[in-house]
Structure 1
């Protein structure tokens, strides 16, 4: 689904703020002991900030390119306690061992949620925690507050993607089903799923929104990091699309600098009874 997007994902998604890791460290008293499982890890966006607070970390993703990018970033950061495992979340087993904490971020909606929640409950030690992170890191939120640079022209960018790929959003070899439920309704569904799996909670933690400055290259990478705009979907027209995208960005900000207000991050903490 994200074929060819790994390097773009690592560069185009806004990094999680340090406050997110600090919040989890304080709330769960993370002290370098135990093991962490990051499911649907991508290129390690959440894995790498949390890995130093555990003896060992296991990062799982179905995309080998994402794992390779994560391993490259870990090496560059001097982080040596991460094992990168290529697997669908639905196929993880007890062979991975027991974990003090598990994390999921921006990935659960792609999974067989009941199956994955049940597997996570089996892998966590009694009293272990599942941190389910709700975040949007590919683009900011709309607003009228003053920011240092122009906002990226996301509406025009999406129109350009539609010109090349059609109005119906792609997802791998098929098309993405548009989710019409509200956030409250989605939360209620997730609560039932985790409750059936044997989790208690959740306790809601929040990290306030923040403002970032991004380059034109980062916005281009952000577009190619999306499942419905992955490079392979454009075929031999990918170069033409990128050329038009860069013209659009130059028109929006001749300096090539953009500012965005990022949405707040919510974390639901579930406890394995």
Structure 2
């Protein structure tokens, strides 16, 4: 069987403006729907960044706490910021359930930093930097980091994943995309706006211009195959900005029924297999002598 493409969030166009409905209603689906980062990510960061329980961590666009919760015990304090109250509510719930008590949750956009939050040893962006005014945020975060502090960008490795040898079919992503287009139109949605053009490249240029040196690249292997149910794949659909539940309006129940029918027809028994992609980390360091 051919390799399948990685599923990812749409790119953000130049001139697109954020609004509060971007992930409206998606928070309850996020942790179940999204594939996890490689299990070895926290330990890889501990080793690469020499984390010893000191210093402060800032997670910008923390979502439901996916990255900050396993990293928080490696710091004296952690702060997670996100503009979506639903995401923060999920993060608080998960943090309490995990017994992580050194995290402060702040509802704010990245563009509102520094927001009186103080200085940090590490700032983490887990697939969130593309939603922001990158130059503004990079400049601000650079000033918020202590000398020698680091800007850490985390994402899935964007490579095709082989589907041969899996016990169940992979989710029918092209069919799902077609169904979403039937309901929402051919132009991909993003909150109240649309995604028409891909974002220009140049994150590396932005970070270098802000005064960061690097990057150092880490690749954390996953080597994991997950069994996924119809409910898991449905959760993935609703976790995305371009198919968030609110976009379907009064037709949500109708869409949900058609989506579940599509998935049941794609796999006898409603079981799917997914390979977890490796995790890619780029570490940008603030000069120890920077002002």
- Say which SS state the counterpart of residue 266 (structure 1) adopts: strand
What is the root-mean-square deviation in Å for CA atoms of aligned residues? 1.7
> Is 1:252 matched with 2:266?
yes
Residue 255 of structure 1: CA displacement?
2.1
Unpaired runs of at least 5, structure 1: none
Rounded Cα–Cα distance in structure 1 between residues aligned with 2:76 and 2:166: 41
Residue 28 of structure 1: CA displacement?
1.0
> Is 1:168 matched with 2:187?
yes
> Is 1:150 matched with 2:207?
no
CA contact (8 A) 2:38 2:276 kept: no
Kindly provide the CA deviation profile for residues 139-170 of structure 1, in whole angstroms up to 9, marking residues without a partner as x.
x9453421121110010011000010001001
> Is 1:65 matched with 2:86?
yes
Kindly provide the CA deviation profile for residues 80-102 of structure 1, in whole angstroms up to 9, marking residues without a partner as x.
11111000101011610111111
> Is 1:205 matched with 2:246?
no
CA contact (8 A) 1:121 1:197 kept: yes
- The TM-score normalised by the length of structure 2 is 0.87
> Is 1:272 matched with 2:286?
yes
Kindly provide the CA deviation profile for residues 170-191 of structure 1, in whole angstroms up to 9, marking residues without a partner as x.
111110133176xxxx3xx111
Match of 2:7 in 1: none
Kindly provide the CA deviation profile for residues 64-85 of structure 1, in whole angstroms up to 9, marking residues without a partner as x.
1100110011111111111110
Q: For the structure 1 residues 141 and 252, does the alpha-carbon distance in structure 2 shift closer, same or farther, using more than 3 Å as the test?
A: farther
Rounded Cα–Cα distance in structure 2 between residues aligned with 1:212 and 1:178: 33
Residue 136 of structure 1: CA displacement?
6.9
> Is 1:87 matched with 2:101?
no
- Say which SS state the counterpart of residue 40 (structure 2) adopts: helix
Rounded Cα–Cα distance in structure 1 between residues aligned with 2:155 and 2:211: 21
> Is 1:195 matched with 2:187?
no
Residue 264 of structure 1: CA displacement?
2.4
Residue 196 of structure 1: CA displacement?
1.0
- The TM-score normalised by the length of structure 1 is 0.93
Rounded Cα–Cα distance in structure 1 between residues aligned with 2:262 and 2:254: 13
Kindly provide the CA deviation profile for residues 30-66 of structure 1, in whole angstroms up to 9, marking residues without a partner as x.
1111110000111111111111111110000011110
Kindly provide the CA deviation profile for residues 196-222 of structure 1, in whole angstroms up to 9, marking residues without a partner as x.
111111100002243222221111000
Rounded Cα–Cα distance in structure 1 between residues aligned with 2:69 and 2:208: 29
CA contact (8 A) 2:170 2:273 kept: yes
Match of 1:13 in 2: 34
Match of 1:77 in 2: 98
Point out the structure with the larger helix share. 1
Of 122, 125, 135, the residue aligned with 1:114 is: 135
Rounded Cα–Cα distance in structure 2 between residues aligned with 1:39 and 1:180: 20
- Say which SS state the counterpart of residue 222 (structure 1) adopts: helix
The more displaced of 78-87 and 209-218 is 209-218
CA contact (8 A) 2:38 2:279 kept: no
Equivalent residues, number: 265
Q: For the structure 1 residues 270 and 56, does the alpha-carbon distance in structure 2 shift closer, same or farther, using more than 3 Å as the test?
A: same
- Say which SS state the counterpart of residue 183 (structure 2) adopts: helix
